[in-house]
Structure 1
Amino acid sequence: MNHVTYISAGAGSGKTFTLTSILADLIVKEKATPDQFILTTFTEAAASEFREKAKAKIYEHTEYAKYAEAAEKLDQSMIGTVDSIANSFVQKYWFLLGVSPNQKIIDDEQKKFFISQVFSKIATPQDILFLDDFCEQFNIANDINSKNFGLNYDFWKEYVLEIFEKIQSYNIADVNICREKSLAFATSITGEGNLNYSKEDVLKLLNEIQCLASDTLVSKVKDLKIVFSNEQKISDVVKIIKILDEEINQKTATGRDKKLKTNLFKKDGNEALFNSVYDSLGRVYSSKKVRDLVLKYINLIFGYVEKAREEFKKFKEEHHLIDFVDMETRFLELLDKDEVQQDICNTYKYVFVDEFQDSSPLQVKIFDKLSEIVGRDECDDFVVTIGTGKDTNEFHIHNSIWVGDFKQAIYGFRGADTDLTKAVADIIAQKQISLPKQFKIHTLKKSFRSLENIVDFTNELFVPAFEGILKKEEVELIAHRPQDNAVKSLKCWKVDGKKEEERLKNLALQIAKRLKNGEKPSDYAVLARRGAPLNKLSDALKTLNVPVCRTLEFDEKRDELALISALMNLVTNDFDNYSRAVVAFLTQKGFDAGRIIDAKLEFDKSYQDNKNCPKYLSDNSILAKFAERRDFYRMQTIHNLVESLIVDLDLYSVGRGWENAVGTDECFAALIEASYDYEERCSQIGISPTISGYVDYCKDNAKSAGSKDGVVLSTFHHSKGLEWKKVILLDLDEDVFDENKRIKYGVLGVHNYHDVAPSESNLYPPMIINLMPNLFAGNTNVAEDMAEKIKNSGFFKSTCQSFISETIRLLYVAITRAKDELILTLDEENPLQVFSCLKCHIQTGADYENGKEVSLFSFNNQDTNERLKFLFENDKLSEGDSYQVEKPEKLVFKKNEKIETANRDQQPSKVKPSRKVTANIVFDSGSRIKANPDEMDKFGTCIHNIFCVLEKSPTVEMVEKIIKNHQMETALPQPEDVLKAWQNLEKFLTEKYGAKVATYHELPFRHMLDGQIFNGEMDLVWETDKGVVLVDFKSYPGNNNDVVAVDNDHYAGKYAGQF
């Protein structure tokens, strides 16, 4: 890297203002023109915001008229996401990469969709038998929150998808390194001993327990005896151990079973029998059987990942698709080519990178390479002054300006490499000392977002928390907004209730009370680390008629999906009685299971007597209306079918009549939206949409957004970059030092790590993906013998530290979202326990009185303790009351006739000639390109792309290569014809207009005329010493007379308007 300015921008410190001011200043002071910038942002929305704010900064200049044209040219600047910018260069230099220029983009959701479709191909029937047995061996059940009960036989698919996504995100070439590391770790935490228990001894011990146990325990023992009489699974052994631990060792024994151990040991030999069985079974997870199962499983999963990657690569090649990682990989490849380096060096002067801390290793490599290409010594002394008065800052500007904040690096799960981006920032800090002319770090120290007490509270928490990682001046913020003593910014609410649902209901009542007093719902945001409590809070708020803004993942158990699925099944099979029963159950009041059975018995009897009797439940109003329209429904696409069913049958009204009607409107709307997205996905990856495919797609992809004017409910991760007047933090009772949870969620499953930390000497060490299947589903604790080995591993210590570090950064992001009020919620049992990772002292045993201040934290300074007290509030809406949203009066307007209006943005090819035009043939070479006339659209595109590069490499081999990339070998069987056509064109232009001084291919332009903006590309500009010639390529399989005949569809004169 070279010539880099790194700006460390804390939360609310005016990052966007600073960047746009720097860019505008560089333009106004004529250090660069708008087309000499490359700027990368995290999202396209951020890119659009940046453009508009940069324009506004330019227009603030006193001589704004002088720079108006430059401001408008920012629309054409290279500003966008890394992927979009990478794709721009790939589209420009595709011929250097040996790929087709006409590639469609496949996004991450489409990628998941494709992988889910190949699962059926990659596992053999023999594999499925093993995977099912593995599931049963370890009793791998569905997650307790999933609403699916029983064993999760599809558990392995989640691991395949997660590993696949990680190797894509981190661009890992050799999956075998990850496989070997995973196998080595699994070997180290399992064992090689045999399960040497005596089956007879186990059954004998169970018989002895059965004679003495309570009725409840006797039932469990009898079941185990039956199981143990046959072939035992690991899960059966675990059940025995659990009973011996809980009942005999009296960890949870109650009533009569409390004396079970004493009574059992009274009989001679029973104590020895118990100890023998317990010792032989107790270390089951250290057995060779477990090791062999786990190692085979890991090998299978990584094998599936490799197969999925091969299938995905093949699929992309066959369908001319490119994903985001491909774009970045190819862009990086282009950056090593002399031609591209020279072009970038001549064209661009500055590269801006926003949100640098969220970059992936591939993206950091791109920024690193760009800094070396655009770096120039003459730019190193330029200083930009931003702000006025006390807010003035001077920035030493280099050609690459990277903006980031380690404290807000929270997107590791998306492929960001926090260790790498932190290492890069540290390297720049060191180089600032050794090479001050080429490297500079600036820190934005002022918070323009939060009131003073919120800023002070943030400093007190996080300066110690980041000690040893960041310097104090890199963490501490100065408040720009002074504290009004009449306003209390720090508040706390107690959330009463033993169960989570009860606590969230009480929180909803507290929020509703404030809104009832006149506050705006959209001023509030409730943030939590997990999504589950927010979903429950959403339901509680909606019950009180409080509008909610929450993007919810669609619950596959929702009645809305069951209803639409049943109706769609009936479209294909009107005799599907199960689906008819589902429709009746969900749409007819009082139609319970008993009535369904009675109706079925009655129908069966009628059907026996008369095969032409009305269909089952045909008297149901929805089914009757459906029957009238079924023929129409059968002709619809998936999207039209879903929308027609919901609208025609008025399912919105049906849903509002349900006992739990919360969110039904949003869910039906989400189903319609998902149907459109599903068809798009199918179209893009070339498969046919089906009803079952749509239903499966909805389970994973349908979302409901809620009300934009409602209370915002968001996870900490999704809140980044946003701000609200009042922020309520939820879910603050988490014990971040719980070792059992750290093992289950930080070690078991799929995780990535560096074997060696990134450093200046080894900046890009490989990322390792580790797989160790979670054998302990639900609330089951990790077995002691395995937990003991895991705790002694370096991997465990590393993951624990990573989790604590991420928790600190998440809390920083969450707390700094608040502008005017920060409200902490207090759980009854473990209030504020999550803050224990911040090296701060949490006060306990405080007396909470409504309207009184309370100390929640103890800081080093007594004045600080007094100033940063929290106001306790406990005002709730009365039970039975609700918050009523003021709804606007519903008006019905007569629909006006549609008026055709001209769009602002136009394509030049759409412009008709303003006068009569005569077309003449001025040159005819006499030669023709032989081609298949049935594919003229593809033919024309291919010719354009060939002509674009032939000037630099005028060979038949180059023509053949491009034709092959377009898969046009049959349509263009004679590539030498194409080369000859280009040579004829060059000869004509030279003889007619003069020798070329320069040429420009696919030259982009933007032209404003009569309030409209024309954007396009010029096929060829032939520049001579006398001027320029504009050339537009057209291809047509007809004869000369057609192109000069005014009444012919292919008349050349109709294109005069675009010239």
Structure 2
Amino acid sequence: MTELSIVPAGAGAGKTHHIQETLTQWVRDGRVRPEKILAVTFTEAAAGELRQRIRGALIADSNLSAALAVERAYVSTIHGLGRRLLIEHAFASGSSPQQRLIAEDEQDLLIRRSIEENPALSELSRNLAALGYQGSFSSDETAEDSFRKKLLGVIALLRTLGPRGSDPAMADFVEASIRTGYGAPIGKFETLAAALQKTVDALLQAFPRSLADDAGSATAKTAFRENFRALKQAQQLLASSGTDWRLWQKLRALRMSMRGSPTPDGYDDLASAVMLAADALVFHPGPLEDAVSHARALVEGAQSAMTDYETRKRELGVIDFSDMVTNAARILDEKPAVLGAIMDEVDCVIVDEFQDTNPIQFTFLWALARKAKCALIVGDTKQAIMGFQGADPRLTVALTQQFETSPLDRNWRSDPRIMDFVNALGPCLFGEDYTALAAQNASGHDTALEVIELANKRGARSGGKPQHFIADRLLSLLTDDRVTIVDRHSKALRDLEPRDVAILCPTHSHCASYAAALRALGLPVRVAEGGWWQSKIVQAACFALRFAVDPADNHAAICTATLGPGATPLGDALGALARDGRIETPELMALQGLWPDSLATPVDRLVHQVIQVAGLRDWCDRLDDPAQMRADLLRFEAEAAAFMDAHRDMREASGFYGQSANVFLGWLENKVGLKGEDLRPNPAGAEADGIEIVTWHASKGREWPVVVVCGLDHKLDPRAGTFSTKFPGFDDLDHVIEQATLAYECSKRTSDGNG
């Protein structure tokens, strides 16, 4: 029988210390041999810290042999543990112990190739506008990008369910959830369309011209112009298909007579008739069937792409990060002898941050924990913010409800005044499940909590934006010599510095706007920003590399001359090219000297030569933000090395053949196009030297003396059109994933135009 200890541990409650002390005591008592510890964390840094703490405690006990034995223990991330088990039990599971782990960008490339070559998905992508996919001018995202992002999200969600995600019944579950959420439709398609057609024809017959010309305000002119355009479109479409539901939605809210912009006699009655007929959209069978068809196609297409992706990996002899856990969980489930052999080598199982497990990770870890002699599970559902990665805290909640828990009830991090606020708020959010944390620190001498609330939100957003208020407040704090903090290393009082401050934002776009406001006041900032690929130094390096392997490339020559260190005026460069057939600048002449040897030089070495002869490294010092430019250039060199290290079969499977400079640039551009790959590196390394701006998710597990939490009015309601995992119950945690289903979040049907 497993001795199970479940420890809910709030932020700052000392969970790592508790794990260390518990493990050390088990070793002291002889219940656990140090080499037979199995401990799982969710980051390499946390695993290393835990191993070091256990070893340090044993050394303090003068138990050197036990401290040395800790090196042989299973202390790693969940993915590291999964891979170790796959290697150690490869033959028992019928797999190779030499499978290569592919990088995340290689994984994305293979999945995207599987999507692009899927006939069903190709058919679905031919009419993206009708399915609601749109491009974005602000982000340069196309409708195809939006569709691909949605599909990748479905694939990621299905993969968190392991083999269950490939069950064909998943599409049936999604359809059932849509029909249940939508309710029974009312009326027939042809009847409802004819009724709307009749009212639209009547309105346009009585008022064949837009009312915009006679409107009394600019707002009214715009509204009447858009209404007239929608009515004319509806008149044409209703006579044919009539399936443009966005158009129906527009007709539910026509402008009518208002003070300052009256309508002609009879217009309001006819417009009201149109809106009444269009309101049938709320219970129309058409949108329901379209939603079902779209959702089923997404799920079935995602499953088909997953099957193709698995085939590609098998042919290449590779696995990805998800496979480490999924395949290990499959072995434990299908090979009881393997599970028994593993548990013979394990005295205890420790799991940290258990609330961040997705369903397949929960299945994997719970299979080990429930068989161990001793098990310690630490987590806090209040800190479960990794849902975007598939984490499902409901599983942890079910665990805490079925077994006795021993919550930690002290906080070692925050000011007592902050904890008073947290403890007052906690029961409002979590009810009886909230455990109050008693502050162990003394109160500071400065203000512990501040609230900045903008009274006139509309005016504030357009004129004095929230980021400007925050920037002004931080500037006043940093320039006030009376504001001090306790240094985390020396424990002595010192002046507040920019590196002591963090701003936590809900989205990356919020981060960028706060960074701009701080920089406008001259405050140093560290933020993960996009734009690496378009960085001036990176673009110069790309064009210089192209010219080095093809001196006849006039476009590369012009861009290198005008963009690079020489900054040749465009007119002069074009004139020289037209007059002499070439552009002679020191950089181009030096680059030309690399040819033709450049054609046979390995890309990583050639990149180094190009940067050197073109003087790009020295040029960084003459550009704005030299440190950032040098960091951008260093990443370019690192990418060249990564390209050379990437497995040839993997590159070719992704459509990149050979190792030439042009293939490298194509590979790199494709990689940068993937989500999150265009972020610029931090020139200061891991230790930020300015005010750090991060998203809420990225702040998890980190600490700063001064923290600004922004965007608390940011809506986090589930969005329509999103898929989610459902469980019929949690009574049988040993097999909970086998009962998982998929659901689809539909729009709420209302009669007020918000459906």
Structure 1 residues 274 and 372 mapped into 2: Cα distance closer, same or farther (>3 Å)? closer
- Relative to the length of structure 1, the TM-score reads 0.59
Deviates more, 1:746-755 or 1:229-238: 229-238
* d(CA) in 2 for partners of 1:324, 1:28: 36
1:33-65: CA deviations, max 9, x gaps? 21121111111211111111111111222xx1x
Q: How does 1:184-333 map to 2 (within 5 A)?
A: 184-187=176-179, 189=182, 193-194=189-190, 195-196=193-194, 197=197, 201=202, 204=205, 207-210=208-211, 212-214=213-215, 217=222, 238=246, 242=250, 245=253, 247-248=255-256, 258-259=261-262, 261=263, 263=264, 265=265, 270-271=267-268, 273-284=270-281, 287-333=284-330
Could you tell me which of 420, 431, 442 is aligned with 1:482?
Answer: 442
1:955-1011: CA deviations, max 9, x gaps? xxxxxxxxxxxxxxxxxxxxxxxxxxxxxxxxxxxxxxxxxxxxxxxxxxxxxxxxx
Could you tell me which of 409, 423, 427 is aligned with 1:445?
Answer: 409
Deviates more, 1:14-23 or 1:504-513: 504-513
> Is 1:730 matched up with 2:706?
no
> Is 1:466 matched up with 2:430?
yes
1:415-458: CA deviations, max 9, x gaps? 222111110111112xxxxxxxxxxx322111111121122221
Q: Which residue of 1 aligns with 2:650?
A: 685
Paired residues of 1:206 and 1:225 also in contact (CA < 8 A): no
1:903-943: CA deviations, max 9, x gaps? xxxxxxxxxxxxxxxxxxxxxxxxxxxxxxxxxxxxxxxxx
Question: Could you tell me how far 1:107 is from its partner in structure 2?
Answer: 4.8
Paired residues of 2:355 and 2:393 also in contact (CA < 8 A): yes
Structure 1 residues 356 and 226 mapped into 2: Cα distance closer, same or farther (>3 Å)? closer
Paired residues of 1:542 and 1:663 also in contact (CA < 8 A): no
Paired residues of 2:348 and 2:375 also in contact (CA < 8 A): yes
Paired residues of 1:286 and 1:785 also in contact (CA < 8 A): no
Paired residues of 2:38 and 2:350 also in contact (CA < 8 A): yes
Amino acid at match of 1:508: A
Could you tell me which of 97, 120, 141 is aligned with 2:134?
Answer: 141
1:357-380: CA deviations, max 9, x gaps? 2223233333333244333xxxxx
Amino acid at match of 1:759: D
Structure 1 residues 226 and 312 mapped into 2: Cα distance closer, same or farther (>3 Å)? same
* d(CA) in 1 for partners of 2:517, 2:753: 39
Q: Which residue of 2 aligns with 1:405?
A: 380
* d(CA) in 2 for partners of 1:671, 1:225: 53
* d(CA) in 2 for partners of 1:31, 1:567: 64
* d(CA) in 1 for partners of 2:693, 2:497: 15
Q: How does 1:914-925 map to 2 (within 5 A)?
A: none
The alignment's C-alpha RMSD in Å is: 4.0
Q: How does 1:382-421 map to 2 (within 5 A)?
A: 399-421=374-396
User: Any idea what SS the aligned residue of 1:373 has?
Assistant: coil
User: Any idea what SS the aligned residue of 2:504 has?
Assistant: strand
Q: Which residue of 2 aligns with 1:550?
A: 527
Q: How does 1:837-986 map to 2 (within 5 A)?
A: none
* d(CA) in 2 for partners of 1:231, 1:675: 53
Structure 1 residues 783 and 353 mapped into 2: Cα distance closer, same or farther (>3 Å)? closer
Identity of aligned residues (%): 17
* d(CA) in 2 for partners of 1:39, 1:276: 68
User: Any idea what SS the aligned residue of 2:447 has?
Assistant: coil
Q: Which structure features the higher share of strand residues?
A: 1
Q: Which residue of 2 aligns with 1:750?
A: 722
Q: Which residue of 2 aligns with 1:898?
A: none
> Is 1:720 matched up with 2:700?
yes
Amino acid at match of 1:248: M
Q: Which residue of 2 aligns with 1:507?
A: 470
* d(CA) in 1 for partners of 2:348, 2:154: 37
User: Any idea what SS the aligned residue of 2:414 has?
Assistant: strand
Could you tell me which of 122, 125, 128 is aligned with 1:131?
Answer: 125
Structure 1 residues 310 and 679 mapped into 2: Cα distance closer, same or farther (>3 Å)? farther
Question: Could you tell me how far 1:759 is from its partner in structure 2?
Answer: 2.9
User: Any idea what SS the aligned residue of 2:133 has?
Assistant: coil
Q: How does 1:541-940 map to 2 (within 5 A)?
A: 541-542=518-519, 544=521, 546-554=523-531, 563-567=540-544, 570=547, 586=563, 606=578, 613-615=580-582, 618=583, 626-629=591-594, 631=596, 633-640=598-605, 644-646=609-611, 648-651=613-616, 663-681=628-646, 683=648, 685-687=650-652, 688=657, 690=663, 691-700=665-674, 701-706=677-682, 707=684, 708-710=687-689, 711-735=691-715, 742=717, 746-760=718-732, 763-764=736-737, 766-771=739-744
* d(CA) in 2 for partners of 1:554, 1:285: 43
Question: Could you tell me how far 1:179 is from its partner in structure 2?
Answer: 1.6
Question: Could you tell me how far 1:121 is from its partner in structure 2?
Answer: 0.9
Q: How does 1:22-41 map to 2 (within 5 A)?
A: 22-41=22-41
User: Any idea what SS the aligned residue of 1:449 has?
Assistant: coil
Structure 1 residues 547 and 295 mapped into 2: Cα distance closer, same or farther (>3 Å)? same
Equivalenced residue count is 703
1:631-687: CA deviations, max 9, x gaps? 455445554555555554344666776789995444444444444445545547242
Question: Could you tell me how far 1:156 is from its partner in structure 2?
Answer: 1.8
Question: Could you tell me how far 1:314 is from its partner in structure 2?
Answer: 0.9
Paired residues of 1:357 and 1:418 also in contact (CA < 8 A): yes
Structure 2 gaps of 5+ residues are: 482-494
Could you tell me which of 354, 358, 381 is aligned with 1:356?
Answer: 354
Question: Could you tell me how far 1:71 is from its partner in structure 2?
Answer: 0.7
Higher RCO (CA 8 Å, separation ≥ 6 residues)? 2
Paired residues of 1:193 and 1:286 also in contact (CA < 8 A): no
- Relative to the length of structure 2, the TM-score reads 0.81
User: Any idea what SS the aligned residue of 2:95 has?
Assistant: coil
Deviates more, 1:399-408 or 1:545-554: 545-554
Structure 1 residues 128 and 170 mapped into 2: Cα distance closer, same or farther (>3 Å)? closer
Q: Which structure features the higher share of helix residues?
A: 2
* d(CA) in 2 for partners of 1:769, 1:565: 45
Could you tell me which of 362, 366, 369 is aligned with 1:368?
Answer: 366
Paired residues of 2:245 and 2:287 also in contact (CA < 8 A): no
Paired residues of 2:355 and 2:381 also in contact (CA < 8 A): yes
User: Any idea what SS the aligned residue of 1:703 has?
Assistant: coil
* d(CA) in 1 for partners of 2:207, 2:557: 49
Paired residues of 1:351 and 1:401 also in contact (CA < 8 A): yes
Q: Which residue of 2 aligns with 1:498?
A: 461
Amino acid at match of 2:174: S
Structure 1 residues 100 and 142 mapped into 2: Cα distance closer, same or farther (>3 Å)? same
1:762-789: CA deviations, max 9, x gaps? 7446333445699xxxxxxx99569777
Question: Could you tell me how far 1:627 is from its partner in structure 2?
Answer: 4.5
Structure 1 residues 71 and 302 mapped into 2: Cα distance closer, same or farther (>3 Å)? same
Q: Which residue of 2 aligns with 1:389?
A: none
* d(CA) in 2 for partners of 1:620, 1:289: 65
* d(CA) in 2 for partners of 1:499, 1:662: 34
Could you tell me which of 527, 533, 538 is aligned with 2:504?
Answer: 527
Structure 1 residues 735 and 349 mapped into 2: Cα distance closer, same or farther (>3 Å)? closer
> Is 1:167 matched up with 2:158?
yes
* d(CA) in 2 for partners of 1:427, 1:157: 40
Paired residues of 2:604 and 2:640 also in contact (CA < 8 A): yes
Paired residues of 1:241 and 1:278 also in contact (CA < 8 A): no
* d(CA) in 2 for partners of 1:648, 1:544: 38
Paired residues of 1:106 and 1:684 also in contact (CA < 8 A): no
Structure 1 residues 460 and 78 mapped into 2: Cα distance closer, same or farther (>3 Å)? same
Amino acid at match of 1:480: Q
Paired residues of 1:539 and 1:662 also in contact (CA < 8 A): no
Paired residues of 2:114 and 2:309 also in contact (CA < 8 A): no
Question: Could you tell me how far 1:625 is from its partner in structure 2?
Answer: 5.4
Q: Which residue of 1 aligns with 2:485?
A: none
Structure 1 gaps of 5+ residues are: 376-398, 430-440, 608-612, 737-741, 775-781, 790-1059
